[in-house]
Amino acid sequence: MFARLTAKAILAAAAIAMAFFGIGLLGLALASALVQALGVAGGYALAGGILLVPPLIWVVAGTISRPRKPPPPPPANNELTRALLAAVAKETPWVAIIGAGIVGAVNMFLNRNKSAK
């Protein structure tokens, strides 16, 4: 299992390196072709712009088209929790504090994986 993960990581690193150097060489070839018409600085600037603009457009389009997250649901009003806390609070204050902590922890534990409907 570890060997497969290592092999996949090496292949992914090689693919990333090939893409990186391929884009660099394409940019260099484009800049070299533009040097005749625009000079060295102009050719490099235009080649850099040609290679930079599409990813920027892609990022901006992805950011704009992303749906907004819905607001979090309001906290659940559990009547059982309120009744238990009221009953415990009538007895003694320290029992109310301990009971509130226990009931709150149980309530959080029971509601942790519920989806909002």
CB 42 within 8 A of CB 50: no
Is the predicted pLDDT of residue 85 greater than 70, yes or no? no
Residues 6+ apart with CB under 8 A from 44: 31
Which residue is associated with the tokens 């415990």? 88
Which tokens go with 47? 């080649």
DSSP 34-100: HHHHHHHHHHHHHHHHHHHHHHHHHHHHHHHHSPPPPPPPPPP--HHHHHHHHHHHHH-HHHHHHHH
Q: Quick one: average pLDDT of 82-104?
A: 73
The mean pLDDT of the chain is 80
Residues 6+ apart with CB under 8 A from 97: none
Is the predicted pLDDT of residue 66 greater than 70, yes or no? yes
Is the predicted pLDDT of residue 116 greater than 60, yes or no? no
Calpha distance 60→21 (Å, rounded) = 25
Calpha distance 86→95 (Å, rounded) = 11
Mean pLDDT is lowest, of 13-22, 50-59, 90-99, for 90-99
Which has more confidence, 63 or 88?
63
Is the predicted pLDDT of residue 61 greater than 70, yes or no? yes
Model pTM score: 0.43
